[in-house]
Amino acid sequence: MSKIVGVIGGMGPAATVQYMARVQALTPTKREQDHLRLIVDCNPHVPDRNDAAGGNGASPAEVLAGMARGLERAGAQMLAMPCNAAHAYAADIQAAVSIPFLNLIDAVCDQAVAAAPSVGVLAADACLEAGLYQNGLARRGVEALVGDAAEQAAFMQLLYRIKAGDLGAEVRTGMRQLAENLIERGAQAIVAGCTEVPLVLGPSDVPVPFVDSIEILAARTVAVAKQP
């Protein structure tokens, strides 16, 4: 029997839906009943991780821990969270439950090691402030390149447009330009270190390997859930 997966979602909702779609697509099946059971808490009211990182808002730690506890009570046997920045609170989540929590950052860093020795990271302020990718990649001997202050401000503007539902050409062009800037500085791969990034940027948009955090978490979810 496959494990029941609890999804700590809603950050943002479109990324959660994309993650669920990729889990469904990546699950090997011969019949409907072979698919994974997902119990999803899609909560867009989790306090903003970037505001919290900047000292301008409440910490989301207790809300995330409460979501984890609720999913465990509902029957989840493992947890996944399709939000990179919220992994700054991974310890709070794991401490709240007795079931395993898949760490998205670790999964992506493991994949990035195989992609290139120097990678550009497109990620939200909270993710970068916590050093999630910088530290995770450094432990694996991979250099993380990030944008300068102006580029990061541009990224955040694009991010909030995506969260508001704007997946148009201007947003796609802007995200592609930020990736190209990192490649010009020496990045030999691009890490989509925010689950909104793959909604507007994909492997065909960049001339180097594209490390998709949604795809990687979905694949890891299926692999772990299907383990005996």
Q: Please name the residue that has the structure tokens 């401000």.
A: 153
Q: Of these residues, 42, 83, 109, 127, which one is catalytic?
A: 83
Q: Which residues contact residue 97 at a Cβ distance below 8 angstroms, ignoring those fewer than 6 apart?
A: 68, 69, 71, 72, 79
SS3 39: strand
Distance of alpha carbon 228 from alpha carbon 2, whole angstroms = 7
Distances (CA, A) of 119 to 24, 131, 144, 168, 219: 29, 14, 5, 26, 21
Structure letter (DSSP) for residue 205? G
Active site residue 109: no
Please state the length of the chain. 228
Angle among Cα 163, 158, 41 to the nearest 5 degrees reads: 20
Residue-wise over 40-68: b if at least 16 C-beta within 10 A, else e?
bbebeebebbbebbeeeeeebbebbbebb
Query: What backbone torsions phi and psi does residue 29 show, to the nearest 5 degrees?
Result: -140, 155
Q: Which residues are catalytic?
A: 83, 194
